[in-house]
Amino acid sequence: MFIFEHVSLKQYNTFAVDFKADYFFKCRNEAELKRFLKHPKYKNLPLMIIGGGSNLLFTRNFRGVVLKLDTPGIEKIKETDTDVFLKVAAGEKWDKFTAYCVGKNYGGIENLSLIPGTVGAAPIQNIGAYGVEVKDTIHEVLAIEMKTGKEQKFTNAECQFAYRSSIFKKEAKDKFLITSVIFKLSKNPVFNLEYGALKHELETVVNVDIKAVREAIIKIRNSKLPLPEVLPNVGSFFKNPTVSGKKFSDLSKAFPELVNYPAEDGKIKLAAAQLIELCELKGKREGAVGIHAQQSLVIVNYADATGNEILDFSKYVQKTVSEKFGLDLEREVIVI
């Protein structure tokens, strides 16, 4: 078990901001993890878990231990005529797992292909893309309570999944270390092809199978999203806001072009990207930070911006949108 001191986190977050952790531990298996959690030197220090660092914005050094989970592993634990149950270690790379399922014709997560990060982080914000959310395939989440070291199982219902949210972003925030996730996937996949760009991409494909869906998603994502290795970013910085019917009716009088979708509890979801575009912020740049020229939801670190420069820029975007539309854009990224 190697625990390093004063480690730069630059290579461990896709915004590539350069803060340090007092201690840094790359954990490769559960036995190592359990030993670490009991270690007298570290067990009372603040602890932060990271996976791929693709949904984080550091704005300060971390005074404690940053624990990077690097625990791979996919295990089939049950199979019925229709479904397969896979237990996947938290440190497994999300897209490697997606590719594995596509290769076996296990359906449910093919639309989530190419999302960066790890399996353990997927339930945290209930990752979603192209009409699919991971909540529909999660059977259980296995975790360890950080304070007590006690193992705990969360059923799907107990995870309280919602749009880019779960119990792990609310009352259980920073309290549990997710060690593995149990997925229930279909052996007879039914594809969700409702999303416009996906439907369009597959129009000319004669036999739409699970591989064709994954390939289409990869093609769309590669054409739209900047690669963090080239332009550091965390994907969508903001969530799509939801508003009441009355608010939407008022807004659409002034802005009839507003894209809208039905949301939970009779509310209406708006497209944050369009709101940002209507504020003429697409491609806007302030020093080393800016909004990507093709993707209004993506804030980019163009050249060694600090976490606080990125945060200040995001607040400027929120303020501009609030002044024009009278609504608040909520951050999707987790700010440390």
Ligand X SMILES: Cc1cc2nc3c(=O)[nH]c(=O)nc-3n(C[C@H](O)[C@H](O)[C@H](O)COP(=O)(O)OP(=O)(O)OC[C@H]3O[C@@H](n4cnc5c(N)ncnc54)[C@H](O)[C@@H]3O)c2cc1C
Catalytic site positions: 164, 236, 332
Nearer to ligand X, 125 or 240 (CB): 125
CB of 179 closer than 8 Å to CB of 143 = yes
Structure letter (DSSP) for residue 79:
E
Q: Could you write out the DSSP letters of every residue in 70-105?
A: ----EEEEEE-SSEEEEEEETTSBHHHHHHHHHHHT
User: What is the length of the chain?
Assistant: 336
* Helix or strand run (H / E) with residue 26: strand 20-27
Nearer Cβ to ligand X, position 49 or 86?
49
Beta carbon of residue 147, minimum distance to ligand X (angstroms, whole number):
13
Let me know: does 214 contact 95? Beta carbons within 8 Å: no
How far apart are alpha carbons 163 and 140 in whole angstroms? 18
State the nearest-atom distance from the C-beta of 111 to ligand X, in Å. Answer: 9
Query: CB-wise, 83 or 332, nearer to ligand X?
Result: 332
Tokens of 223: 């054409």
The H or E element spanning position 139 is strand 138-145
Q: Which residues bind ligand X (CB under 6 A)?
A: 14, 48-56, 69, 90, 115-118, 120-122, 124-125, 127-129, 176-178, 225, 228, 233-235, 334
Task: Tell me the one-letter amino acid at 59.
Answer: T
Q: Would you say 85 or 195 has its CB closer to ligand X?
A: 195
Residue number, 141 or 317, with CB nearest to ligand X? 141
State the minimum distance, in angstroms, from the CB of residue 237 to ligand X: 10
CB of 221 to ligand X, least distance (A): 7
Decide if 16 contacts 33 (C-beta within 8 A): no
Task: Kindly report the number of other CB atoms within 10 A of residue 207's CB atom.
Answer: 6
Do the Cβ atoms of 189 and 105 come closer than 8 Å?
Answer: yes
309 contacts 287 by C-beta, under 8 angstroms: yes
